[in-house]
Structure 1
Amino acid sequence: MEFMISIPQFYADGEFDAATFGAYLERVEALGFDSAWTQENVLAAMPLLSPIETMTFAAARTERLRLGCAVFVTTLHNPVHLAKSLSTLDQLSRGRLEVGVGTGGRGRMFAAFGVDSARFVGQFTEGLELMKALWTQPRVTFDGRFWQLDDAAMEPKPFQKPHPPIWFGGSSPAALRRAVRHGNGFFGAGSTTTAQFAEQVQAVYATLAEHERDAAEFPIAKRVYIAVDDDPARGRERINAALTRIYGHRSETIEAAAVAGTPEDCVRELREVEAAGAQRILCTHLFDHAEQLERLATEVMPHFR
């Protein structure tokens, strides 16, 4: 099992402290986590630092730690600008970048980003195709429905060849098929229960077989909202309250997907996520970040190694 950890991003105006944030990142690396991950949500009442800038800060404070975003809603980005930013970050981090992508689903405010809500899936797929071309081809001529380039060059290319690993989020059958056709791995959402995730994993493996892709070279990950607390009822109450703030409403499904309780409780539930098909688990704590980091590293992770 490979353990990943979330990078805290929920800071209201005036709350961010660079020294504390930097110390957290350095401690993540020292404790042996394999990677640290951000997320993206541009328009929301809950304050959230943007992922690229956050990962850039993290790259400057660490040396080994891989850095990712699960996920960029790439439909909302100009693919040329995003390709350039990610290529630059991969160079600055010396090849430590992981890129998660997703369409964002139908509930997004597409009009705010100049995206036609009737064609967002096509725009997502074409944008990803263009990003890959810019990352791998010396000159790009591209005649798409949404973007056109004529003998254009983008340098430098990413440090990783041919490009950083591309993880796909999503839960619908169509999204899972896109993950296999266009991605390097699948990332289950934190709002997805373990039972739902197990079904998604089986669908991914079936599609891999259809496309004659080696499942051993297509990793499966799952975000898990988690709270380690010696008082299970208190831990559950706190994580449910945090999830309500993040999602803007209470959801029994999302709460059921979260893990809260004693270290033993957390190990047991993470074992179930592992049995459902997760080879990597992204532990996402929502409060007491430094304390939760230490408890996960010393009381939970050792049971999986």
Structure 2
Amino acid sequence: MKYSISIPQLDGDSFDADGLRTYLTRAEELGFEGGWKMEQAIGPTPFLAPMELLAWAAAGTTTLRLGVAVMITSLHDPLQLAATVTAVDRLSHGRLDLGVAPGGGRRKFEAFGVDPATFISSFTEGLQLMKAAWSDEPRVTFHGRFREVDDLPISPKPVQRPHPPIWFGANAAAAIARAVRHGDAFMGAGSSTTEAFATAVQNLRTELAEQNKDAATFRIGKRVYLIVDDDADRARERVLAGLRRIYGSMPGVDAVPVSGTPADVVRGLREVIDAGAQTLLLNPTGANLAEDREQMERLAAEVIPQLT
């Protein structure tokens, strides 16, 4: 098992650089493998953009892997995003993990100039173009349905070869098949229940076998929203308040978190592990950086030791 922690990205009146820097330093001291962010380009929650913040985090860390789960890459120009990914991977000396997904029906595709009728095809082609940009070839030629590139010089290249690990977010059968075909790992969404994650893992393993992919090298993780509190009722109130800050009134979100006393949280996380998670991305839903720091300390001291 590997354990990662979410990187707080709520931004209030001013960016607390010193507070976040000490949070990341402490995450490394506590032995977390990685720190992850999410993307929410538009919405009422004041989230800092993930890749830019990961570039900032790279300067203040040395061992922590830096991940984003997930980038809705259908909303980005692939060559520009490929350059951004390369920059963060080089600035972190090869510590970037890139989560991707095409998005779904509730996305505001028109706001980004994306045709909702072709966003999946555009997503897949864009990922192929990004891989071409990251390849060892100094000049790239690519002829697709949406993009034409001829003998284009692209440098530098990412530190990690052939590119940073690509984690897919997926639920539907076709999306899981796409994840196996184009990805290196799978990250279950924090907005999915443990039961839904277990089903996705079963489908993923079936697809890995059908596509003759090595399941031993295809890592499976899940983001878990949680709050640890000695009062279980208060923990439930706190975690749901945090989820509403992220997702608003999205139906079904109340069923996804793990909360309660340390024993309650251990029990909930064991269920996620039993469902197939090899990496747990622990995501406290505190109202501020201080609450997330307190949660990280409690997870490291009172929860993770009971899982290992």
TM-score scaled to structure 2, two decimals?
Answer: 0.97
Give 1:250 shift: 5.3
Q: Aligned equivalents of 1:95 and 1:57: distance in 2? A: 15
Query: What number of residue pairs does the alignment pair up?
Result: 303
Matched residue of 1:141: which SS? strand
Kept in 2, the 8 Å contact 1:190–1:254? The answer is: no
Paired residue secondary structure (1:61): coil
Residue 293 of structure 1 aligns with which residue?
296
Q: Secondary structure at the match of 1:84?
A: helix
In the TM superposition, what is the alpha-carbon distance from 1:272 to its structure 2 partner?
0.4
Q: Paired residue for 1:182?
A: 182
* Equivalent position SS for 1:115: coil
The aligned counterpart of 1:143 is 143
Counterpart residue type for residue 301 of structure 1:
I
Once the 2 structures are TM-superposed, how far is the Cα of residue 104 of structure 1 from its aligned partner?
A: 1.1
Residue 154 of structure 1: how far off its partner (Å):
1.1
Question: Could you report, residue by residue, the CA deviation over 1:233-281 in whole angstroms, capped at 9, with x for unpaired residues?
Answer: 0010111122122111053x32221000111110111000000000001
Shift of 1:106: 1.4
Structure 1 consecutive aligned stretches of length 4 or more whose deviation exceeds 6 Å: none
Q: Distance in 1 between matches of 2:227 and 2:274?
A: 20
Alignment of 1:28-107 (within 5 A): 28-107=27-106
- The gaps in structure 2 that reach 5 residues or longer are none
* 2:224 maps to amino acid: V
Structure 1 unaligned regions, length at least 5: none
Amino acid at match of 1:294: E
Alignment partner, residue 237 of structure 1: 237
CA RMSD of aligned residues (A): 0.9
Q: TM-score, normalised by structure 1?
A: 0.98
> What is the deviation of 1:15?
3.7
* Structure 1 residues 239 and 117: CA distance shift in structure 2, 3 A: same
Q: Secondary structure at the match of 1:140?
A: strand
CA distance in 2, matches of 1:143, 1:122: 14
User: Displacement of 1:47 after TM fit?
Assistant: 0.9
Q: How big is the shift at 1:66?
A: 0.3
Q: How far apart are 1:220 and its partner, in Å?
A: 0.4
SS in 1 for 2:59: helix
Deviations 1:181-209 (A, max 9, x none): 00001110011111110000000000000
Relative distance call for 1:230 and 1:250 in structure 2 (3 A) is farther
Tell me which residue corresponds to 1:261: 260
Task: Give 1:191-202 correspondences, 5 Å limit.
Answer: 191-202=191-202
Residues 243, 250 of structure 1: 8 Å contact kept: no
Taking structure 1 as reference, are residues 231 and 29 closer, same or farther at Cα in structure 2, changes over 3 Å only?
Answer: same
